[in-house]
Structure 1
Amino acid sequence: MEKSRMNLPKGPDTLCFDKDEFMKEDFDVDHFVSDCRKRVQLEALRDDLELYYKLLKTAMVELINKDYADFVNLSTNLVGMDRALSQLSVPLGQLREEVLSLRSSVSEGIRAVDERMSKQEDIRKKKICVLRLIQVIRSVEKIEKILNSQHSKETSALEASSPLLTGQILERIATEFNQLQFHAVQSKGMPLLDKIRPRIAGITAMLQQSLEGLLLEGLRTSSVDVIRHCLRTYATIDKARDAEALVGQVLVKPYVDEVIVEQIADAHPSDLQLMYRKLLEFVPHHCRLLREVTGGATSRFREIAGSLEAALTDVLEDAPAGSSYCLLASHRTWSSLQRCWSDQMFLPLLVHRLWRLTLQILARYSVFVKELLLRPISNESAKDIKKPSGTGSKDPSVAQGNCEDRGSGPSETKPVVPVSSTQLVYVVADLDRLQEQLPELLETIRPKLEVIGFKNFSSISAALEDSRLSLSACVPALSDRVTQDLSESCFSHLKSALEVPRLYRRTNKEVPTTASSYVDSALKPLHQLQSGHKDKLKQAIIQQWLEGALSESTHKYYETVSDVLNSVRKMEESLKRLKQARRTAPATPAGPSGGGMSDDDKIRLQLALDVAYLGEQIEKIGLRTKDIRSFPALTELVAAAKDQATAGQP
């Protein structure tokens, strides 16, 4: 490092070596001498080394003389420095003692604060334990009061012969019992809790006995309300398995013992089939009430699914006013997803079913979009497509019946309902919007899952991402359909270039100065797409469709123009050969007898004007002509034709 910072004095230019060679870390004398001998003799090397040695001595003397005064004054400046240092040692020692004393005081203060904080934390914990014990005692007294009030005047309306509590009273007890259990678990090990534990056990036994009796009474009287109150109470105190065991003991076991008899099992196989059918009849006949009580969520699910299916019909209807979607099917899909996780619908115990329904809704919409790709495209607008008879029923029951009957017997062939290009545009816009709102749905679901302690949000996010990718996979095919329809609409007008020769041949028309009207007609569908859907679609999607449609139609237009020009050239060559064969012919039939432009050149010029105007319009809609397939080749083609047409003109 020190060597690299030294600056050696510069020697004469006639030296046979480089002075920087001496400063290299890998400097070697033998290598240095052998390298210099390749250029000069040893005598010359010796002379150059002696010369540079003298320069080094001179530079060293100058360096010493430059710093000599500082070396001399160094000893003078250090006089009395030891006395000053000894004078500083005393106050520095005092300062050190003061800092250590202050540090000790601060440490004692911190220890005192920590002790007080620890005592305060201990008091707070003891206070919480006391409050929990107070709450336990209050809950026990409250439940006992409710139980004792069964025989008071307030409950004289109850049946005196029945010791069972009503469903409403049981629900009140269950709510209070939950709080009692929570505080009792938190106060585990407290002496006071051990004293009141027998009272808690009595309450538990009484509640269990009352619930069992109420459930049996509800099953005996076929009372849906009583069973609903009873099952809700079982769920509140987290004793659903006790209810299942009771139903199994009271309903299932006697029926199974009655149906499955050992003598029948040893009999004919037909008796076994009869036994099996009787077992299958148990649920619809003997568990009907339980199915009605627990089937509320299923009916809500069917309601959501039926509403969605009613919108996913063959006829694509517009979304209601104010909706962020274009089609009713998309609007109903998003509203169904929101409804699944609304506060009115959400229940913690049904989270798994709500999540499954969410994925099913997204999958159903994805299938619906894929089915649209199989329909033909109609030239009519979305409003002109009439609803065919017998299709698109909005009654969920009818739709369900049709699905059940499908496949049984000969089915009539349903007419395929066409879809308009505007409707396909709406579908793409809705797909894009739905994909953007899926993260919003995830944020709605997240707090609902946190309520039940669910932590694996990555799996939920991954499942939604899979659904989003399934929806996104439909967009390219839809875009191809839209692009194809636009391309066909454009080329249906661009192929009018075939009529240009008929307009000029033997008509004596003036030399063309403007483009043909078919160019504007060809670009009209593109302008309608750009202006009519800019509020619904992203600009990037519109530009992609315009570029794709123009590339396809321009390629066909290039082939058409090329055919027209080839036809004109062949006609012109044919006329020239005819003229040579009939040398007495006064003029060419294809053009005027004077010196004006021929009909063939007018055709070439008209096509050149059409292509130039087409390029200008492409630039106006925000595209570059060089990005359009075959347009550069088309430009070169008509440019050559134009040069040929104007070559012979003054």
Structure 2
Amino acid sequence: MADLAAPPRPAAAPQPPAAAAAAAAAAKDLFGETIEAHPPWFRPEAFLRAGFDPDAYVAELRSYVPLESLAAELRSHLAALRAELVGLINRDYADFVGLSARLKGVDAAAARMRAPLADLRDKVAAFRAAASAALAALRAGLEQRAAATQARELLELLLDTSHVVSKVEKLIKELPTAPSDSSDVEVRSVDKGYSGNDTTPSNVEAGTDVRETQSILLERIASEMNRLKFYISHAQNLPFIENMEKRVQGATKLLDGSLERCFVVGLEHRDAKVIYNCLRAYAAIDNTSSAEELFRTTVVSPLIQKIVPQNYAKAVSGVSSDDLEDDYEQIMQCVEKDCKFILEISSSANSGLHIFDFLANSILKEVHSAIMKGKPGACSPGKPKDFLRNYKASLKFLDFLEGYCPSKSAVAKFRSEPAYTDFMRLWHVSVYFSLRFQEIAGGLDGALTATISPVGVNENQMKQKTLLLKQSIKLLESLQSCWSDDVLIFSQSDKFLRLSLQLISRYTTWLSSGLAARNASDGSSSSPADSEWALSVPVEDFIYVMHDVNAVIGELSESGNFVGRVNQLLASCPIEVLTLVKQSILQAVEPLKELLPSIMDAMIGVIVKRSNEDLKHLKGITATYRMTNKLPVRHSPYVSGILHPLKVFLEGDRVHYLSEDDKTKLRRGSTDKITATYYDMVSEVVNVARKTESSLQRLRQGQQKRIGGSTDASDNIISDTDKICMQLFLDIQEYARNLRTLGIDAKEIESYRSLWQCVAPKDKQDIIQF
């Protein structure tokens, strides 16, 4: 209060009221209205509201007022407020100074008010301390209560555990009290045939009831053991539990032994109720593997040992072979007869016994063991035929076992079992394919490296064969072997498809390399081994090659038997896979189709080469008619030999292996090239004769000019060139007639028309007649 009475004096002298009034009067416009000191968007009265929020106020104004303008206006308003406060203090300064004098007695009044407030403060502190103490006591009580509850629960758990252990021990002790031994003896006597006693049926029924009672009791014990395991799992590492561990282990051992004996007895007597109860007991204690193993050793193993010899020495000595087909048949009969009952029990609806897998862990596991011990050679891929036969028999056996699976999920579970995986590992199909690859591919490679020769003894036998060359026959045999039932394994079908494509490619390479070597080197000794066949065979053998290539293309085409056979074997695959397989085979045949013109060119080349030997005699015409008066009257003898090689080839005994289309191509191709060569040689002879005659005529004219003789005497003499052309004209007419005997019209050959224009007289240039 004293501080307020004597505030600091402002630095600037305040304005008197008269000056303030003058300033207010000056803040008016010409019309006498007060001028606003602030812009219209700034309202100072907003600061006086009870719920004024500065953040909201600034956020509202900043949407249309710059922050700089708002800050400047706020500073101006702050300055005005400070000026107003100073004016108020100056105006009432005397009152502020005298305020302390009027506040006498305030301290005494404050002291009187402070006493009850201090008393109230002490009472509140005492109450707070009491409340805190009560709260702490309450919390301690709750913690003790929770600890007591936990201890009680633990004690109850331990008591329950002890009670269950005692109950299990008591129930186990009750098991031997049942007269099971006597009943077993009575049942055995019945099995042995002692049926003369009248009390036998009742004894059997009594034995059955005893077994059923034992199995029910064992199932109950197993349920208690399952509960005991649950209790122990929630009370581990406790001294009480550790002290009871021996009792629990003893009870578990007694239960396992009793349950094993009861289950074995139930299996021996085919007692469905006993087996069902025992299986439920095994399921309750989560010990399915013991039940599966007991069934394997008790029922399955004796049956399999009778079928598959367990002594390998006997198998080696020849007592039994490595064939598994008959063994699997007997095993399937035994499964149908002696194992079906437990499979039906374990797969019964709403039984909860689906966790057992006797198919894999009992039957298949025992079969696997028997094969490994008694017939280890049955799984050896070193004997491909036996291996494939046994492998297919094994797949058939697995299909038989899967037939007992009640659902697709059961089949998937059966295939995921380790026993199934181990059984499939017996069959090394990849090694089998490698051996088959070497066998099939090596056989074809050996045939391709051999000398080309037709198969058969005589022509009549060859006419009955689709293929003529042993190489082609071996190719189709190899392709058919890849997809035969005696070779193919469906799981390796992709590899056999690749092998088929490789065989076709190998055959194509063998043909193309031979044709290329024949066309390029023409018999040189530096050709590769694959091309030797083409360098040494006569041209007539190319007929066999042409025939076989066409036959192979037809067999491997879309309408051939091979593609249909492959699609039939892969019918279970999706249509997209079948389409890709067919396209791959057809694509592999395309390079083989492209070799057909080369084979035809090889035959034509040999025929043309032989014809050229006779065409060489054409050059003798120049010597025959030079410097003589002899005129041609008939065609030359060499003409009849030009087409003789082609006639001999077409009249051969092998030409019937060519199709009519191939024969036409052969005739037309040969005659075109022979005629073209004929034209080249004729044009060369005529050009040389004309050049020679021109030279001689110039010499003759020069000599006559020197001696002053006349040059008109030789105008009526037929020149040597004309006589040569006359002879050649007669020759090409005969050649055209020979072509006609082969079914070829000489007028259609472009080179023959050029030949006609070269040697025909001027009056016969436009019309070709022969």
Q: What does residue 225 of structure 1 align with?
A: 378
- Aligned counterparts, 1:523-562, within 5 A: 523-532=643-652, 533-562=654-683
Q: Is the 8 A contact 1:608 1:642 kept in 2?
A: no
Is it true that 1:328 corresponds to 2:470 in the alignment?
yes
Are the counterparts in 1 of residues 542 and 603 from structure 2 also a CA contact under 8 Å? Answer: yes
Q: Secondary structure at the match of 2:638?
A: helix
State whether residues 377 and 421 of structure 1, in contact with CA within 8 Å, keep that contact through their aligned partners in structure 2: no
CA 1:234 to 1:560, structure 2 compared with 1: closer, same or farther past 3 Å? closer
Equivalent AA in structure 1 for residue 481 of structure 2: R
Pairing 1:172–2:329 present:
yes
Q: What is residue 481 of structure 1 aligned with on the other side? A: 602
Name the CA shift for 1:575/1:341 in 2 (closer, same or farther; >3 Å).
same
Deviations 1:279-299 (A, max 9, x none): xxxxxxxxxx976x8744543
Alpha-carbon spacing, 1:154–1:579, altered in 2? closer, same or farther (3 Å): closer
Segment of structure 1 superposing worse, 329-338 or 498-507: 498-507
Measure, in 1, the Cα distance between the counterparts of 2:742 and 2:537.
27
Which of 447, 453, 469 does residue 311 from structure 1 map onto? 447
Computing the radius of gyration from Cα coordinates, the structure with the larger value is: 2
Residue 348 (str. 1) matches residue 466 (str. 2): no
Distance change (3 Å), C-alpha of 1:434 and 1:216: closer
Alignment partner, residue 521 of structure 1: 641
For 1:539 and 1:555, locate their aligned partners in 2 and report how far apart those are by CA, in whole Å. 24
Contact 1:359–1:467 under 8 Å retained in 2: yes
1:573 paired with 2:694, answer: yes
The alignment partner of 2:662 has SS state of helix
Partner of 1:608: 729
Instruction: Say if 2:300 and 2:363, in contact at 8 Å, map to a contact too.
Output: no
Correspondences of 1:199-210 after superposition (within 5 Å): 201-202=357-358, 204-210=360-366
8 Å Cα contact 2:368/2:423 also seen in 1: no
The AA in structure 2 aligned to 1:237 is L
**Which amino acid in 1 is paired with 2:454?**
D
Q: Is the CA contact 1:378–1:420 (under 8 Å) kept in the aligned structure 2?
A: no
- Give 1:154 shift: 10
Structure 2 CA distance for partners of 1:189 and 1:519, relative to 1, 3 Å: farther
1:427 & 1:634 partners in 2: Cα distance? 35
Cα distance in structure 2, aligned partners of 1:585 and 1:499: 36
Can you give the 5+ residue segments of structure 1 that lack an aligned partner in the other structure? 1-136, 138-143, 161-165, 250-288, 394-412, 645-650
CA contact (8 A) 2:604 2:669 kept: yes
Q: Deviations over 1:493-538 (max 9, x none)?
A: 22322111112334665x3332222222221222233233541222
Q: Residue in 2 aligned with 1:448?
A: 569
Please name the residue that 1:278 is paired with.
Answer: none
Deviations 1:44-65 (A, max 9, x none): xxxxxxxxxxxxxxxxxxxxxx
Whole-Å separation in 2 of the counterparts to 1:601 and 1:475? 45
For 1:531 and 1:415, locate their aligned partners in 2 and report how far apart those are by CA, in whole Å: 24
Q: Deviations over 1:111-138 (max 9, x none)?
A: xxxxxxxxxxxxxxxxxxxxxxxxxx9x
Equivalent of 2:553 in 412, 435, 438 = 435
State the secondary structure of the residue aligned to 2:487: coil
- Contact kept in structure 2, 1:308 and 1:333, CA below 8 Å: yes
CA distance in 2, matches of 1:154, 1:211: 9
Matches of 1:223 and 1:500, distance apart in 2: 87
Contact 1:170 1:207 in 2 (8 A): no
Name the CA distance, whole Å, in 1 between partners of 2:688 and 2:609.
24
Please tell me whether the aligned partners of residues 340 and 354 of structure 1 are also in contact (alpha carbons under 8 angstroms): yes
Query: Quick one: which amino acid aligns to residue 625 of structure 2?
Result: Y
The code of the aligned residue for 1:434 comes to: V
> Which residue in 1 is equivalent to 2:398?
237
Amino acid at match of 2:646: L
- Contact kept? 1:214, 1:230, Cα under 8 Å: no
- Report the alpha carbon displacement of residue 608 of structure 1 after superposing the two structures with TM: 0.3
Alpha carbons of structure 1 residues 465 and 153: separation in structure 2 relative to 1, 3 Å: closer
Change (3 A) 1:465 1:573: same
Q: What is the TM-score normalised by the length of structure 2?
A: 0.46
Tell me: CA distance 1:499–1:223, structure 2 relative to 1, closer, same or farther (3 Å).
same
CA contact (8 A) 1:604 1:642 kept: no
Q: CA 1:188 to 1:565, structure 2 compared with 1: closer, same or farther past 3 Å?
A: farther
2:638 and 2:485 map into 1 onto residues whose CA distance is 59
**Which of 500, 505, 511 is matched with 1:358 structurally?**
500
Displacement of 1:170: 6.4
Please, which of 423, 426, 434 is the counterpart of residue 541 of structure 2?
423
Alignment deviations for residues 531-553 of structure 1 (CA, whole Å, 9 cap, x no partner): 33541222223322333333333
1:556 positional shift: 3.0
**1:632 correspondence with 2:753:** yes
Q: 1:297 to 1:576 in 2, by over 3 A?
A: closer
CA–CA separation in structure 1 for the residues paired with 2:623 and 2:351: 113
Higher relative contact order (CA 8 A, sep 6+): 1
CA distance in 2, matches of 1:562, 1:152: 97
- Residues 314 and 500 of structure 1: CA distance in aligned 2, closer, same or farther (over 3 Å): farther
Name the CA shift for 1:530/1:637 in 2 (closer, same or farther; >3 Å): same
- Percent identity between matched residues is 22
**2:618 counterpart of 1:497:** yes
Report the RMSD for the aligned CA atoms in angstroms. 5.2
SS at match of 1:450: coil
> Which of 463, 478, 487 matches 2:584?
463
**Contact 2:361/2:419 (8 A) holds in 1:** no
Q: Which moved more, 1:466-475 or 1:343-352?
A: 343-352
Contact 1:515 1:613 in 2 (8 A): yes
Distance 1:158 1:628, change over 3 A: closer
Which residue of structure 2 lines up, in the alignment, with residue 620 of structure 1? 741
Question: Residue 296 and residue 606 in structure 1: after superposition, are their counterparts in 2 closer, same or farther (change >3 A)?
Answer: same
| Aligned pairs (5 A) from 1:152-191 | 155=306, 171-172=328-329, 175=332
SS in 1 for 2:540: helix
Say yes or no: does 1:376 pair with 2:518: yes
1:337 aligns with 2:493: no
Measured against aligned partners, the alpha-carbon deviations of 1:220-247 in whole angstroms (never above 9, x if no partner) come to xx93237779976764316598468548
Output the amino acid matched with 1:172.
Answer: E
For residue 432 of structure 1, report the CA deviation from its aligned partner.
1.5
Question: 1:455 deviation in Å?
Answer: 6.5
Q: Report Cα offsets for 1:223-278 as digits up to 9, x if no partner.
A: 323777997676431659846854899xxxxxxxxxxxxxxxxxxxxxxxxxxxxx
Q: CA deviation at 1:616?
A: 1.8
2:367 to 195, 208, 211: 211
Q: What is the Cα deviation at residue 435 of structure 1?
A: 0.8
How far apart in 1 are the matches of 2:442 and 2:554? 25
- 1:517 counterpart SS class: coil
| C-alpha distance after superposition, 1:609-632 (max 9, x if no partner) | 111111222222222323323211
CA 230–431 in structure 1, closer or farther in 2 if over 3 Å, else same: closer
Query: CA 1:190–1:154 in 2, change beyond 3 Å: closer, same or farther?
Result: closer
